[in-house]
Every structure is written in structure tokens, then in C-alpha cells.
Structure 1
Amino acid sequence: MRKLSITKMFMLSLCLVMILSIIGGCSGNSSEPAASEQPSASPEATQPTADLGEIPASFKAGTYKAEADGKDGKVQVEVTLDAAQKITDIQVVSQNETAGIGVEAINKVKEEIIAGQTLAIDAVSGASESSTAILTAVEDALKQAGGNVEAFKSRTVAKAGEGKTEQLAADVVVVGAGASGVSAAVSAADKGAKVIIIEKTATIGGASNLSWAGKFYNSSAAVSSGLKISVEKEISDWIVNNHWRVDAAAIRQYVTKSGDTYDWLNQKGYKTTFINFAGEQLHMLPAYETRQDLLRAMLAESVEKKGGQVITETTAKKLITGSNGEVTGVVAEKADGTTLEITGKSIVMATGGYAANKEMVKEAFGFEGVNGGLGQNIGEGLEMSWAAGAKVPDNFGGQMLHQTLARATEKLKTQYEPFEASYPLMLSYLPNFMNVGSSGARFRDEAATLTAVAAANTSAFNGAYHYVIVSKSQIDALKAKGMNGVKAPSLPGMPPEFYATFAKQFTLENPWKDADKVFDSMVENGDGYKGSTIEELAENSGMDAAVFADAFSKYQEATKTGVDTEFGKAKDYLLPMGESGPYYAVIAEINNLGSVGGLLVNTQFQVLNDKRVPVKGLYAVGLESEGVLFNDTYVGNGVGIGYSFTSGRLGGEDAASSALGK
């Protein structure tokens, strides 16, 4: 979604804008959230506590400090136990989890532990790592106190709703409350439909809460700013770039109607900001910490105000079908165990795909990298739809591979300031360094790192990770003159949120202080390798010694002659590696922001069966329907979030029109 062909001045000004927008957002919080942010304990955790058995002789009441690894860093707690071995208080001293997702999970689990006096608590959907972190930390505190840990872990609390069934009815039922689901629910309600929207997590907004910007073609803001694209050329190029294996009508619909989504969102209070991103029409989403509230307000003003319901922490289990195969509703389960049977005339699937299902992604696409999307997106929405007769698309498997990550980053952040901790990450975005696969073979012109999609897909095609090779002489140059020392053509094209915390230091001329120490720490942490010779580096990293030696020799020759006979890399990017070690191999991985497709839809967002005929009553919007736009993988820039809002807006209207007989 980002490119390097932008000026330093633009990037710095954009970064300043992003800093203002992400304070309190993706960077997490350094202390426990205010009480107003803490959700109440779920019903199953509010029942009277039972005796936890004999108190061990080793037990000592008091307050104990403990910590565990969360998704975005350490979660530190202080746990207080009384003389009866009861947990009376849990204070979250420090955490860096994502606001609105991990933070809510931590608070929810904390309250359930106290209310139920148990560690036998299910992870909060979509925030399993954050949930596990606080459970692990509290368990550690119990061990320090000499408490009966097994009693806490084995004590289960019955769910209040188990065995109960509730029946609800609506004109339109939306499954999933991300950008596409919320948009579908709101537009359907505005059409006059009674809408029920369910969401498996406690969070409204889904992946849009983590996204940066969307593309709304020829929006009023873009046109008034003097940037207008040729619709016909854009559509034509899009079709050709995807080898014609796309739905041309769906592409035309998005390109011609997404601009209206910009105005629609603004009118609803969800204001995006147009930016000319090196000639591309991108629209930055509102400040991270405001997004969920804005989407909740949209739902309140339309869905709830018009008699519908917004039901969170409720997971869809299966679709209800009629005698003729029509979809007539959905069966779901609430957090307290209650079964919901929700009937409707139109059912809209907006469950966000399956990128968090490692086995499913590997089988469909062969990808084994990082899931940078939401943990709750495991594909059950697709499974339910397929079971109801939906076709598995011929291009099933595409993913939104879109960023390069250095495995070393998070651990280094606990040892160094953010700028220093990001040294390995920044190198993975520069074309001046040798890139090799796990075997040691060079696999691309490293200028591919200058374009996000090219960087991601060339790497993923060669395995779960690749290595960025860095020599002593190159590190010395970085220490002396910063990225200018290695002739970086421009700043690394990382997403703005990656460098927002060190924007002032993020310059080409800033020397890389202690770079050698940072890379040594990377190796000590197990996130990279070092060798005094190339042979030793190959041995330590598991590369084939002969393969790597051959690749290294050819690359060294290219840096001397200025001619890359293997990949045609430009002379300006062929940086000499010196004649002596040590050498380092940085482990670089690709971030998968989400799966693409899984349900075949027409331009009314009706889901099609194996005969490409609509499954009556079933609709799909967002990522699950996006396969009509792309061939085998995502190659867009801002399209993911732009399409989610646009498909939701249009699909919701279509679902409502059908339900109301209009």
C-alpha cells in the first residue's frame, strides 16, 4: 500500500499527521485503561465463587508482580491475594496491546478471573495472545504466592446461557461488524430494513481499526484537489494486470462508485482525509482511537434507531436453509452460551476471511508467513456459506501480502529505543542489500523492495522468510553516515505507523549509533545469524554452504563491475560488501493483512452457487467477496479498505431492496 517514490519532505509531513492520528491507537497504552473503558464481566463469571480447596502451607497472602508476552509486548500485572487465597485485585501496570482489541480483552479476562476465581477462561475472540498474556501473568503471580494453581486452572464456571435458545427476526441479518459489515447494516437500515448485526468479538470495526488509508476513486475531495484519474484506463490496466481472470463488471462498479463512498462516510460522521500519495488517490481514516466510537455511532443512528440490534460477542455457527436451498437465517452462540436463532430475508456475510487460519492459508496458497490481520478471522463464514451451496471460486487462495517485517523488531524494542530497534527492519526495505532465500540462493532484483506488493510476493514465492545479508563494512558505513552511508535512494518505504515513534530520527543522514551492538543482540535473541566468514554464516543460518557461496561470489562480482548478470539490478544499488566479516543475516518475513475472496458474487453482491446462479437470500461483502477483483493475489493499494466500505454500502442496499421487495 506504500511506495518509496515520494519525497523526503512529503514523508516527514505525512508522518507528523500520522503521529497525531495514532496517539493512543496502534502504539498501545503504557498503563491500565481508565475505568470507563473496562467492560463488565460476562454473565458466566458473575456467579458465586466456590471453595478452592485446601490452602497450601507454602501460600503467603500479598501483592505479587508478574509479566507475560502479549501480542505487542509485555503485559505486566500486580495481583493481590487475601489470606483465604482469593484474588481480590489485578492491576495492569503496563501493556502495549492494541486499543479497542487487546486492551478490551485484557480487561474482560481480568474481570472474569476475579469474579469467578478461576483461570479456566476462554480467550477473547480476536485477541487470543492478549488474553493468554494476562492469564499467564496471573498464574505466575499465584505460583510466586505459593497458591494452589491447579485448583484455579481446573475450576470451571458454568455459562449462564447454556441450554437456552432465543429466537430473533429481521429483514436483513449481517454477520460480522468490520468496515464492510457495519456499512452493509447501516445502508440496509437506511433503506428501511430492520437489521440485526452480530459480531463475534467485543469490538466494532474489525481490520479497519488497524488500517491506514483507503482508495475511493475520483472522490469529491480528490477531484477538488486537482487529482483525477482516467476511469477507463484504470479499469483497463487493472484487468490486464490481473491477466483477465477477474470480473470486469465488479471492477467497473468499484472504480466508478467508490468515490461516492467517501461522501457517504463523511455524511455519516466517519470523516476520511484525502492525500495525494505520489499520484494515487488515498484517503486516511480517522484517528485510530476514534474509529470504533464513530462506527458505533453510525450503527446507533441507523440500525438501532430504526428498531434493529447490534449484538457483540456472538459467533455465527451455521446458516439456516429452507427446503429449496434458500438461506433464511443464522444460528449463533452468545458469550454466555445462549443459542440465537436469527431469521431474515437477506443474510449478509462479512466475516473477514480466513487469514488467521494457518492451515487453511497454507493449503490454499502455500504461504507460511505472518498473519498481520485479526486473529478471529479463521474462515468459519466461508465454511458456513459453502455448506449452504456457495461455490468455491476458481481463484480461491489469494492473500493480501503487503508488508515486510523483521523478526527481530519486537525483542529489540525491549532493549533499545524504537529507532535503534528498527535497524534490521529498515534494511529490509532498502534495495542496496543482498537478499537470499533460506537455501542461500539470491532470488530477486532487490529493487523489488521499493514497492510493497512486489517486495511481499517475490519473497513469499520463495518460502516463509528470506535473509537480508549485511556486512561489517556496510554496518560501519551506517554508523558513520546513516543510510546515506549505504547510498539509500530514499527513506525506507515502511508504513507510517512503523516509524511514527521515531519520526525525528527517521532521516537519511542520521548515524546509526551502536548498529553493531544492535545486530549482535538480534543474533543473541535468535532472530538473525552471524558469521565471521560467509561459510560460517551459511552454517549458522542453515543455508546450503555451496549455494550461498556461489550467490555471494556472483553478487560481489556484480558490485565490482556494476553489472548484475542474474537479475539486472541497477548499478546505483549494487553496494560493495567489503572483503572481510563478520556478516549478518536478518530474518525478514512477509505480513499477510488478510485473505482475498472465498465467495463468488455478482454485482448485486449475491453469492453464487456452482452453476453461478445466486443462492437465494445469501449476500457477501468485504474481503470474502473481493476475489472478483483479483486473479491469484492482492495487488491493490488502498483497495482493501476502500472496497470493504464500498461493497458494504452497496451490498447492504441490495440486500435490503430484496428483503423489502423493492
Structure 2
Amino acid sequence: MRRNGRFIQTLTVIVCIVMFAVMLGGCQGGNVAGGGNGTVPTFKPGKYAGEAEGKEGTVQVEVTMEQADRIKNIEIVSQSETAGLGDSALEQIRLQIIENQTLNIDTVSGASLSSQAIIAAVEDAVKQAGGDLEALKSGTVKKAGEGKTERLTADVVVVGAGASGVSAAVTAADQGAKVIIIEKTGVIGGASNLSWAGKFYNSSVAVDNGVKVEVEKEIADWIVNNHWRVDSAAIRQYVTQSGETYDWLKNKGYETTFLNFGGEQLHVLPAYETREQLLRNMLAESVERNGGQVITETTAKELMTGSAGEVTGVIAEKADGTTLEITAKSVVMATGGYAGNKEMVKENFGFEGVNGGLGQNVGEGLKMAWAAGAKVPDNFGGQMLHQTLARATDKLKKEYSSFEASYPLMLTYLPNFMNVGPSGARFRDEAATLTSVAAANTSAFNGPYHLVIVSKSQLEALAAQGMSGVKAPKLPGMPPEFYADFQDRFTLDQPWTNIERVFESMVKNGDGYKGNTIEELAKNAGMDADVFTETFHNYVEATKTGVDSEFGKSKDYLQPMGTEGPYYAVIAEINNLGSVGGLLVNTKFQVLNDARVPVKGLYAVGLESEGVLFNDTYVGNGVGIGYSFTSGRLGGEHAAANALQK
């Protein structure tokens, strides 16, 4: 009996120890998986790899976790995000997650996709560790400046530091004004950092190269081509004064290179990697030297107004949450439009394609100006549709060389293939693909995407003889950056090796369709079978007779489709480089109200004022960036004159 009593005592002690351990674990529940509800944690400390898709590619991280759901460290193992913006956002988010032990982090302005990518990659790692995602997402980050207000004064405040904003700030400072320029991201230059070339009419370098535009004819044609729904004085101002912008930029150290582009006067911007620093140098030499400031990571929220409705400054929010109130006699809006706001674009233009511009341009600048009395222009809604994209490209580049991955993309720029809309009906003479603006707008008018139909015999011809095999009239008119890394293979007679595998991968990735028959292709692509079948047979007949009775396509581009499958459909989308307009301005770049009278103290330059040049859509080539620099240069002078008048 004594032995049994000792056994019972020992058993009782063991049970108590176990119960105490369980209770202790429950006491620590605030830090374990289960969020403090006393459950046994499944979390395992250690290092875990996570990944997610960013804006430019896969973001890979290694997360070190310890102490039951505590993130000790995050290492960014691999990323290809935009230098100076996306990569900076990754680092900011990384540090905030570690410091605040939460995944409930605000994205960085202008780099939302990169920000979301690192958060998602860390989530991926936490899941593998068995961590409590709900708990990690429930925390909040209190910004150091919340509840604080900082007040500044200036003669001129410029909102937005892209090409137009920087130009406005520099010229205003050169006139003697104290200037403060604010930028919502950490990067100076905006869309100009992505652009290729600008148009500065009859610049000194163009004239020196023997290329001169007949000014009056250019202006007259411009007005007619836009159906007279433009401001002819604004067009005249740009055509006659943009040439001076070339010399102005050159004198400021931002030198462009002249290019005779088939008779057009284009000026190629400096090397991509140098542009931001060149613009920063301009700001330092003019704005900062004259007592002004350049404030980044600061988002404008509201325009300040006086008793008579005049604009008297800007209320903004700094990255740390501090409210910034800047009073000024002139406010220049240069916030880049709203192309990054897909709902706003669809509502006002009906476009559902790709935003190839800046994600931070979501229209808040326009809304602030409208709230302050600015008129919404009658032609509001226009967009800068400029390039065709193949949805397949990015994924294919992870499997194949850049040249091979671009096979579907290159076909979207050739007139030799049948193009159909989502229903399966043709919608244009495919020769429109030879001109970027025509290609973009005919497609966008037809729907959110179009399909490029490619037959087995056409694939075989491409494999054997390259684009010469399908009698391509010239190389695809893609922007140079699209083919920069395979320029040596970018020729008409370069065979397209491995083409069948590439197209099979395109279909597997969900970026195109395949059918052994045209009926099967229609079904797989979601087209109406009857519509596509009739369209296909009509097109095949046109290739035989050389007569396209529907769209008048040249017989030179009516290439045979063959008699057997399989057939493929490439998903092609349109790239929107930016919205056009939103504020109505006069030639002093003063913003006008509903009565077309200037809102005192308010100016606009760049894309948001560009609606005076175009009707429902952008049809320029180099005008976007050329006008941004020119309108900024001129608008800044007028804003300074207003601020400094006695």
C-alpha cells in the first residue's frame, strides 16, 4: 500500500507540473499563435523563405522568426523593382514591419505594388512558420508626426516634382521667387524618368540639322485633326515656344539628343539612370539656392482658399504623419493626372487596359482644384494611349530568353495577322498596327483587349525564316526599350527558334488561347463561335482573292492562314501612358473656373493642363514630355510674376 501511495503522490506531482506548464503557456498567449486564447502554438522559430510578385518581377525574402510570432529580421534576397522608388519602398516596409511587429503597414506612395509585394512575401513566410497572420495584421503603426502641424510660407508652391513641376519651380525661382516644391514619392522626375523623347518644335539643334517645321501648317493641321475642340492659342504657344525649351534645358545641364524621326523633330532624353540627379541638380541650383525647399514623401491633401475664393496655399501630409500648411501667393498644380486610378479612367474614358504610367497619379490634384472652384473641362477624359502590349511577355521572360519571350508581343505590331475583338469579330484594317497611336486607339475603342490570330503554317514560317517568312513589311514599331536587350537578334530574317514551345507556354500561363480547330479556339477564348467562324472564313477568302471588302486591307498584308490547326490567339492590351487634361487653363497657365475666369492664385502645368491641346485622346508623338517641360517653364514664370507683383 505504501508503494501505491508513493506512486499516487509521484503521479500527482507530474500532473501538477504538466498543468503548471500548460497554464504558463496560457499566460504567454499574448505572443503565441492563437492570439492569446491559450491554445498550444503551432509556430516554429527559424528562417523561412517567402516570395510574391512585385511591379517588375518576383520579390524574395528570408524571414527570421522567434519568440512565438515575433519577426526578428527580414532579408530581401532578390528583387528587380524600380531603382530609387520600388527598391526604396521595399526597404521602408521591411524596417516598419520589424519595428512595429505588424503587417498592417501603409504602402509607399508611388510604389504600392512593390510595397504590397514585400508584405505578401513576408505573409508567405509567416504561413510556412505556422504563425498567426491575423495577429500580425491586427497591429497598427502610429506615425511620429500624427497630431502635429508645421507651417511654412513661400511665394510659389509647386505640387508635384515631375518634368513640369520641376521646370515650374526652377523658372519661378530664377525670377526671384521663394519656392517650395512638394512630391508625394521619394523620387524626382515622375513620368519623365520613363519617357523616351520630347518634341521641341524648331529647336536650334533641329534647325542646325536641316529639319524645320512649317509652323502655320502644323498649327492648322493640329486644330483640324482635333476637330477644332482645342485652344488654338495654347497650340500656337507650344508650337512657337517649345523650341526655346531645348536650349533652356541644355543650359540647365539637362541635355537632350536630336533625332530626325522620319521627318519629326524628336529630342531623346538623357540616359535613364542620370535623369533624376540632373533634375535634382536643377532644383538645387535654383530653388534651394534662392532659399526655397524641395520636400519629398509629402502628399497634398487640400488647397487653402481665402474669403474671396482665391487660392492661398496647400495643406499636405508628410510621411511621418505631420500636417504641413504652406501659404503662398501662387500655387502650381503639377500632379500628373489620374491614369493610375482605373475606376476614374473607366468612368471617364471607358478604357480598361494597362496603366503604363505612374501608379501614384490617382487624380487627387484634380479633385483638390475642382473643390477650389476649377472647371471640369468639356473634353475631360482623354488618355495617352500609345503602345500595344502582349499579356504573355512578363511570364515568358521567366522561362525563355527576352527575344523568345517577345514573340507574341512582336506579332501584335505586324499587319500580317488577323485581329479580332473579344466577340471574335474583326474591328480594323490591321495596318493600323504600323502606327502606335492608331493601333492603340482602334483597339481601345473595340474593348479591353484584342486577339491576334496565328495559324500553324504562320508559326512554321516564322520558325524557318523569322518575320520575313510572313512577309513583314518592316520591323515591329515597338519602343526601343522593348527590344534593347535583344537588338542583335531583332532582324526580319532571324529565325524564331523554339516558337511552338513559347506559344504553348503562353497558353499554359493563361495569356493566350489554342484550338485545334477554329471552333475550338473560339470556345477556349470565350468568343462567339458563330461570329468568329464567319469572320475567319471571310478573312481566309480575302487572303485568297487579295480583296478585303470589309476593311480594305492591302493585299500585301493578306497572308495565307493555311488549312489546318492548331490556331493560337495572343491576348493584346493597350498601354496608357497617362491621362490628358482635367484642368482648363489659359496661356498664362492660370486655372479657369466655370465662367472661364482665372481662379486667383491657381496655376496648372503638365498633363493636367494638356487638355487644351487635344480633343478626346492624345495623338502626339513626343508632345507629352515636350509640353510638360515647356508648360512648366512658362507656367512657373507667370506664377512667379503673380507672386512678386507689388
Name the TM-score class by shorter chain.
over 0.9
1:241 aligned partner: 225
Question: What is the Cα deviation at residue 77 of structure 1?
Answer: 1.6
Task: Write out per-residue CA displacement over residues 451-490 of structure 1, whole angstroms, 9 at most, x where no aligned residue.
Answer: 0000000000001100000000000101111111111111
Question: What is the Cα deviation at residue 93 of structure 1?
Answer: 2.1
SS of match in other structure, 1:389 = coil
Separation of aligned partners in 2, 1:148 and 1:370 = 36
Q: Does 1:517 align with 2:498?
A: no
Q: In 2, are the aligned partners of 1:356 and 1:374 still within 8 Å (CA)?
A: yes
Separation of aligned partners in 2, 1:604 and 1:191 = 15
2:236 aligned partner: 252
Q: Does 1:194 align with 2:178?
A: yes
Separation of aligned partners in 2, 1:290 and 1:610 = 42
Q: In 1, are the aligned partners of 2:31 and 2:68 still within 8 Å (CA)?
A: no
SS of match in other structure, 2:489 = coil
Separation of aligned partners in 1, 2:99 and 2:246 = 45
SS of match in other structure, 1:129 = helix
Separation of aligned partners in 1, 2:74 and 2:212 = 55
Separation of aligned partners in 1, 2:87 and 2:364 = 25
Question: What is the Cα deviation at residue 79 of structure 1?
Answer: 2.1
Q: In 2, are the aligned partners of 1:353 and 1:598 still within 8 Å (CA)?
A: yes
Deviates more, 1:457-466 or 1:287-296: 287-296
Q: Quick one: which amino acid aligns to residue 385 of structure 1?
A: A
Question: What is the Cα deviation at residue 114 of structure 1?
Answer: 2.3
Number of residue pairs aligned between Structure 1 and Structure 2: 612
1:422 aligned partner: 406
Q: In 1, are the aligned partners of 2:44 and 2:68 still within 8 Å (CA)?
A: no
Question: What is the Cα deviation at residue 101 of structure 1?
Answer: 2.2
Question: What is the Cα deviation at residue 145 of structure 1?
Answer: 2.5
Q: In 2, are the aligned partners of 1:401 and 1:591 still within 8 Å (CA)?
A: yes
Q: In 2, are the aligned partners of 1:60 and 1:83 still within 8 Å (CA)?
A: no
| 2:100 corresponds to which of 94, 102, 116 | 116
1:30 aligned partner: none
Deviates more, 1:60-69 or 1:377-386: 60-69
Q: In 1, are the aligned partners of 2:149 and 2:322 still within 8 Å (CA)?
A: yes
SS of match in other structure, 1:79 = strand
Q: In 2, are the aligned partners of 1:52 and 1:152 still within 8 Å (CA)?
A: no
Separation of aligned partners in 1, 2:306 and 2:263 = 50
| 1:462 corresponds to which of 437, 446, 457 | 446
Q: Quick one: which amino acid aligns to residue 511 of structure 2?
A: D
SS of match in other structure, 2:31 = coil
Higher relative contact order (CA 8 A, sep 6+): 1
| 1:485 corresponds to which of 459, 469, 476 | 469
Larger Rg: 2
Separation of aligned partners in 2, 1:61 and 1:301 = 52
| 1:176 corresponds to which of 160, 164, 188 | 160
Q: Does 1:529 align with 2:506?
A: no
Task: Write out per-residue CA displacement over residues 141-179 of structure 1, whole angstroms, 9 at most, x where no aligned residue.
Answer: 222233333332212121111111111110001011111
| 1:563 corresponds to which of 514, 536, 547 | 547
Separation of aligned partners in 2, 1:568 and 1:183 = 46
Q: Does 1:508 align with 2:492?
A: yes
2:377 aligned partner: 393
Question: What is the Cα deviation at residue 336 of structure 1?
Answer: 1.1
Separation of aligned partners in 2, 1:101 and 1:213 = 22
Separation of aligned partners in 2, 1:239 and 1:400 = 18
2:599 aligned partner: 615
Q: Does 1:277 align with 2:258?
A: no
| 1:54 corresponds to which of 24, 31, 48 | 31
| 1:302 corresponds to which of 271, 275, 286 | 286
Question: What is the Cα deviation at residue 53 of structure 1?
Answer: 3.3
Q: Does 1:580 align with 2:557?
A: no
SS of match in other structure, 1:461 = helix
1:71 aligned partner: 55
Question: What is the Cα deviation at residue 85 of structure 1?
Answer: 4.8
Question: What is the Cα deviation at residue 622 of structure 1?
Answer: 0.2
Q: In 1, are the aligned partners of 2:423 and 2:528 still within 8 Å (CA)?
A: yes
Task: Write out per-residue CA displacement over residues 5-45 of structure 1, whole angstroms, 9 at most, x where no aligned residue.
Answer: xxxxxxxxxxxxxxxxxxxxxxxxxxxxxxxxxxxxxxxxx
1:227 aligned partner: 211
The answer for unaligned runs of 5 or more in structure 1 is 1-50
Q: 1:127-206 maps to which residues of 2 (within 5 A)?
A: 127-206=111-190
Q: Does 1:209 align with 2:193?
A: yes
Q: Quick one: which amino acid aligns to residue 488 of structure 1?
A: A
Cα distance change, pair 52–235 in 1 and its aligned pair in 2 (3 A)? farther
Q: In 2, are the aligned partners of 1:200 and 1:314 still within 8 Å (CA)?
A: yes
Question: What is the Cα deviation at residue 58 of structure 1?
Answer: 3.2
SS of match in other structure, 2:488 = coil
Separation of aligned partners in 2, 1:210 and 1:465 = 24
Separation of aligned partners in 1, 2:338 and 2:225 = 25
Separation of aligned partners in 2, 1:66 and 1:52 = 26
Q: Quick one: which amino acid aligns to residue 194 of structure 2?
A: L
Question: What is the Cα deviation at residue 82 of structure 1?
Answer: 4.2
Separation of aligned partners in 2, 1:561 and 1:352 = 50
Question: What is the Cα deviation at residue 83 of structure 1?
Answer: 4.8
SS of match in other structure, 2:410 = helix
The answer for unaligned runs of 5 or more in structure 2 is 1-27, 34-40
**Cα RMSD (Å):** 1.3
Q: In 1, are the aligned partners of 2:86 and 2:114 still within 8 Å (CA)?
A: yes
Question: What is the Cα deviation at residue 87 of structure 1?
Answer: 3.1
| 1:366 corresponds to which of 330, 350, 367 | 350
Q: 1:622-637 maps to which residues of 2 (within 5 A)?
A: 622-637=606-621
SS of match in other structure, 2:442 = helix
Deviates more, 1:97-106 or 1:256-265: 97-106
Q: In 2, are the aligned partners of 1:100 and 1:292 still within 8 Å (CA)?
A: no
Q: Does 1:494 align with 2:478?
A: yes
Separation of aligned partners in 1, 2:395 and 2:30 = 40
Separation of aligned partners in 1, 2:239 and 2:64 = 57
1:19 aligned partner: none
Question: What is the Cα deviation at residue 271 of structure 1?
Answer: 1.4
The two structures have a TM-score, normalised by structure 2, of: 0.93
SS of match in other structure, 2:621 = coil
Deviates more, 1:340-349 or 1:96-105: 96-105
Cα distance change, pair 301–84 in 1 and its aligned pair in 2 (3 A)? farther
Separation of aligned partners in 2, 1:612 and 1:605 = 12
1:324 aligned partner: 308
Separation of aligned partners in 2, 1:500 and 1:62 = 42
Question: What is the Cα deviation at residue 278 of structure 1?
Answer: 1.4
Q: In 2, are the aligned partners of 1:126 and 1:376 still within 8 Å (CA)?
A: yes
Separation of aligned partners in 1, 2:151 and 2:167 = 25
Q: In 2, are the aligned partners of 1:53 and 1:151 still within 8 Å (CA)?
A: no
Question: What is the Cα deviation at residue 297 of structure 1?
Answer: 1.3
SS of match in other structure, 2:360 = coil
Q: Quick one: which amino acid aligns to residue 503 of structure 1?
A: Q
| 1:348 corresponds to which of 332, 352, 355 | 332
1:602 aligned partner: 586
Separation of aligned partners in 1, 2:438 and 2:375 = 30
Separation of aligned partners in 2, 1:273 and 1:64 = 49
Question: What is the Cα deviation at residue 555 of structure 1?
Answer: 0.5
Question: What is the Cα deviation at residue 247 of structure 1?
Answer: 0.7
Q: In 2, are the aligned partners of 1:434 and 1:442 still within 8 Å (CA)?
A: yes
SS of match in other structure, 1:504 = helix
Deviates more, 1:302-311 or 1:431-440: 302-311
Cα distance change, pair 392–482 in 1 and its aligned pair in 2 (3 A)? same
Q: Does 1:592 align with 2:569?
A: no
Question: What is the Cα deviation at residue 407 of structure 1?
Answer: 0.7
2:428 aligned partner: 444
Separation of aligned partners in 1, 2:301 and 2:182 = 12
Separation of aligned partners in 1, 2:63 and 2:261 = 48
Separation of aligned partners in 2, 1:381 and 1:304 = 24
Question: What is the Cα deviation at residue 130 of structure 1?
Answer: 0.7
**Percent identical residues:** 78
Deviates more, 1:427-436 or 1:287-296: 287-296
Cα distance change, pair 52–314 in 1 and its aligned pair in 2 (3 A)? farther
Question: What is the Cα deviation at residue 236 of structure 1?
Answer: 1.3
Task: Write out per-residue CA displacement over residues 180-229 of structure 1, whole angstroms, 9 at most, x where no aligned residue.
Answer: 01110111001000011111111111111111111111111111112111
